[in-house]
Every structure is written in C-alpha cells, then in structure tokens.
Structure 1
Amino acid sequence: MELRVVASLANDEKMIESFKKGEDIHKRTAADVYEVPIEEVTKEQRYAAKEVNFGVLYGMGVMGLASRKGITREHAREFIDKYFSVHHWIRDYIDSTKALAHNLGYVETLLGRRRYIPDINSGIQQVRAAAERMAVNMPVQGTAADLMKLAMITVQKGLPKVSPESKLLLQVHDELVLEVPQDDVSKVAKFITETMNSVYKLKVPVETEVSVGKNWGELEEYS
C-alpha cells in the first residue's frame, strides 16, 4: 500500500504506469535501474530495488544501502543515483515535502490529517535531519493508515447487511481479520475486496488479497 501512496503523492509516472499494468513494482524498478528486461531480473536485483524503494522514504542513504547489501559505497551511490534518475518524481517529492515542512512546520496526509514537526528547523543537524525524515515519511504512512481506518469504518457499517453473523475482529498493519460463517465466505470476500479497493481513489489501483482458514496458521489464498 505504501508504494501506491508514494506513487500518488509524488505523481511518479513510472510507478503509476507499472501499478496500472499490474507489474511487480520491485522487479520493474530493478529492470529500469539495471537496464535489463523485467523478465530477466534476478532475485538479488529485485531485493536491492525493494530495499531502495522503501529505504529512500525512511532516509536510507549510501552508507545504509552499502551496509544492508554488503556492497561498496561507490556501488551503493551509483545505485541510488540511478534510482533517482529513473524516479526523479520521488526526489522532487522528498525535496518539496522537506521545504514545505521547513516553511509551515507541519506536513499532511492526502486526507488532510496534519502532523506538526517541532524540530524541523532545529539548529542541531542530527535533530533536524531526523525531523526531515519524519516529515517525508509521515504523509506516506499516515495516508496508508487513514485509508485503512476508512476501510474499517466502511466494512463495519456494511458487513451486517452482507453477513449478519460475521464480525470484524481486528486490524493488523494493512490487514483486516474477520470471523465469517463458512457459508458466507464467498460473499464476504467479494464485499471486502470491493470495499477496500474503492474506499479512496488514488492515482493507481488498489488491490486486495483475501485469505481464508480456520486460523492464521491455516490461511490459504482465496480466489
């Protein structure tokens, strides 16, 4: 979900196109960065792309990537530079979000929920850098959290009409856990998928996966 939010926030044309095609976003990133066909991307290349796709949003730099991947700083710098040449919209988003936070003292989610960043103009470089990372990350994770809350509210309101005996039990990160009578699994799965996919319109499609089982240990993908 977070990368779909990023694509929408940054208006990243590469990511938007990839999500609309239903591609593996990490494979697509690796293919663009390593300049190879997507079907030839290796597991190692995909993993490196995944690290950067998420890492840049949390302030991971050259040293962080080099340490996590066990590569030289030069290699890490080349990879990140290439990443931002492909996804320059992400770089623009990061820079503009930092500038906005410095100017206003806060950042907002797509739905307008605001978080103030008291240390964004701190005179201490380490404190200011941490505040900048927070400013970049909050609209992404915050928007994902907002969408999940909207989905929970919508599911809770509509579920009794679909399956009166079903219950929304809890939320775990980007998942909802429900208790559903066996005979109602099909219609509840359809309701959940349609609800979560349409709760808020991003610039990319949202895809929901449903798994069914007697307990978490026995869950299997439902289609």
Structure 2
Amino acid sequence: MEPRVLAHMSADPDLQRPYLTGGDLYVDAAVKVYGKRYSMLREQFLEADDETWRQRGLPKHPRKMFKQGLLATMYETSAYGLSTMLDISKEDGQQFIDDFHSNFPAAYQYAKDSLAFVDKHGYCTTMFGRKRRFPNHKSIAQQIKYERGWTPLKSEYNSVHRQVVNARTQGTAAEIMKVAMIRMDRLMQHLGSEWKLIATVHDELLLEVPDTITVEQFKQIEEAMVGAVKLDIPLKTDIAVMKRWSEDVPLEEYLQKGQSCFDEAGWKVA
C-alpha cells in the first residue's frame, strides 16, 4: 500500500507508470537508475537472475535494494541508516539516495514540500486531512536557520524530518485500510452470520467464510478492498484461502482444486 500511496500523493510519473502498465515498481526503478550504467537489460533485474548483478559489481541485487530502500529513502533515512539496512557501504548508501532523488524528481519534490510545510506550520496531514502534530518544531525550525554545525536542536529538527513523509504516506495507507475494513464489515453482515471479519494484519484482512463460498462472492470481497478509495493508480489485492493459519493457497489454485487443496486436518496438500 505505501508505495502506491506515495506514487499517488507525489504524482511522480515514474512511480505511477508500473502500476498503470502492469509493470514491477522495483524492477522498473532499478532499470531506470542502473540499467544504462551497468549495461543490464530489464530481465536481468528480476530476482530470478542472481548472477548478473554480481558480475557487474553491484553491491546487492538491485530489485531487492529498491524494495528495501525506496521508502526508507523517502522517509529521510540517512546514508548510514540505509547502508546498515541494505548491508552496503555508507558511500553506496549515499549514492542510492542521490540516484533516487535525481531519477524520481517529483517524489523528491513531494518530500521537500512536505518538510517545508511542517517547518512552517508545525504539522503535516494525510490525504484524508488527519493531522500529525510536531509540538515546538515550528520554533525549532526558525532557530535552526541561525545554527552552525551539529547541535541538540539540529538533531531534534532532523528527527522530525525523518517522520514527516512517513506520517503522511503510512498514515494515508492506514486510513485506506480502515475504509476497506468498514466496507468489508458491511459486506460480511450482508452475506450472513457465517461470514466474519476476524482480524487485520497490517494491510491484510482475515475473514472466516463458509465452504460454500462462490466465485461471485470472492469478487465481492475483492471489490470491498480495491474500491475503498479512488487513486490516480489502481489499488490491488490478492486473495488466499486457508483452513489453518499460514497454510494458504492462492485463490486461482483453490478455484481449480477446491477443498482438495487441504487434508482433513486442514494442512495444505503439497
């Protein structure tokens, strides 16, 4: 959810394009940044290829790097923090940040605008208008203009900056999830007492449904999720079916095999 929200809120065309064309955000981002520099074709950025990046001298698989580092970079993680996260050198961490900023300028501008807003007003907002307040930050931002070098104020100032884009992006994703939960709860009540919304795990919902569930009802469940809000890019959800926690099979497999996906005890059949 968060990369989709970021792509929408920043209106960065290069972040939005994979979602509009059915591409892979992390592969497309890696190709954009590293493709020409390392003379690599798109298929060589897929995780299935675990050799080309080593031969080219990249510090880590580029798709995995972008999957881990994209949001961290947007959330103002330092070069040192990124190097620790990606297991790369501090210099490579700074290069990753610089590459991202230069190749996704609209996303970078969104981050800068968000930080400038919180400096001026002392709070930031989600897409739905909820405020994340940062007490005293406004006065600290005014004072920091006259500070030179590292000071406790500078540390406090930077700490807020590392939270702003996170608060806006992650906060909006949480709001969308809450809308989806309300829609799902209404659907469960409409379908009957055997249908229950059990729990949420980050951006996933756990439902209890009868064995007689139909293809049409699966579609209703999907629509309750992806119809939660309209963004500039489509929302997407995956459905998995299980009888025991974590013993799940993709919906496509369940529709082909039905209950034979599981044994009598509910374990997934290999």
The answer to whether the superposition gives a TM-score over 0.5 is yes
Change over 3 Å in CA distance of 1:54–1:105 after alignment to 2 = same
Measure, in 1, the Cα distance between the counterparts of 2:136 and 2:156.
Answer: 7
Would you say 1:116 and 2:133 are equivalent positions?
Answer: yes
SS state at 1:94 partner: helix
Would you say 1:179 and 2:183 are equivalent positions?
Answer: no
Q: Which residue in 2 is equivalent to 1:38?
A: 42
Q: Structure 1 residue 188: deviation in Å?
A: 3.3
User: Which piece of structure 1 moves more, 205-214 or 28-37?
Assistant: 28-37
CA contact (8 A) 2:7 2:16 kept: yes
Q: Aligned to 1:219, which of 209, 227, 248?
A: 248
Q: Aligned to 1:194, which of 199, 208, 223?
A: 223
Deviations 1:176-216 (A, max 9, x none): 11100010153432111112111101111111000101022
Instruction: Pick the structure with more helix per residue.
Output: 1
Q: Which residue in 1 is equivalent to 2:239?
A: 210
CA contact (8 A) 1:119 1:131 kept: no
CA contact (8 A) 1:62 1:80 kept: yes
Q: Which residue in 1 is equivalent to 2:14?
A: 14
Matches within 5 A, 1:120-159: 120-121=137-138, 122=140, 124-159=153-188
Change over 3 Å in CA distance of 1:187–1:119 after alignment to 2 = farther
Q: Structure 1 residue 119: deviation in Å?
A: 4.2
Q: Which amino acid aligns with 1:128?
A: Y
Measure, in 1, the Cα distance between the counterparts of 2:83 and 2:163.
Answer: 22
User: Which piece of structure 1 moves more, 62-71 or 32-41?
Assistant: 62-71
Measure, in 1, the Cα distance between the counterparts of 2:30 and 2:157.
Answer: 32
Q: Which amino acid aligns with 1:7?
A: A
Equivalent pairs counted in the alignment come to 223
Would you say 1:86 and 2:90 are equivalent positions?
Answer: no
Task: List structure 1 runs of 4+ shifted beyond 3 angstroms.
Answer: 185-188
Larger relative contact order (CA 8 Å, sep ≥ 6): 1
Q: Structure 1 residue 159: deviation in Å?
A: 2.2
The percentage of counterpart residues that share the same residue type is: 31
Q: Which amino acid aligns with 2:10?
A: A
Measure, in 1, the Cα distance between the counterparts of 2:244 and 2:137.
Answer: 45
SS state at 1:220 partner: strand
Q: Structure 1 residue 120: deviation in Å?
A: 2.5
User: Which piece of structure 1 moves more, 213-222 or 69-78?
Assistant: 69-78
Measure, in 1, the Cα distance between the counterparts of 2:9 and 2:130.
Answer: 14
Q: Structure 1 residue 21: deviation in Å?
A: 1.3
Q: Which amino acid aligns with 1:56?
A: T
Would you say 1:165 and 2:194 are equivalent positions?
Answer: yes
Measure, in 1, the Cα distance between the counterparts of 2:217 and 2:192.
Answer: 7
- Please tell me whether Structure 1 or Structure 2 has the larger radius of gyration of its CA atoms: 2
SS state at 1:216 partner: coil
Q: Aligned to 1:70, which of 77, 87, 104?
A: 87
CA contact (8 A) 1:14 1:87 kept: yes
SS state at 1:89 partner: helix
CA contact (8 A) 1:120 1:132 kept: no
CA contact (8 A) 2:187 2:224 kept: no
Change over 3 Å in CA distance of 1:154–1:70 after alignment to 2 = closer
Deviations 1:26-70 (A, max 9, x none): 111111111233211154111111122121133222112223333
| Pairwise CA RMSD | 1.6
Measure, in 1, the Cα distance between the counterparts of 2:24 and 2:131.
Answer: 32
SS state at 2:246 partner: helix
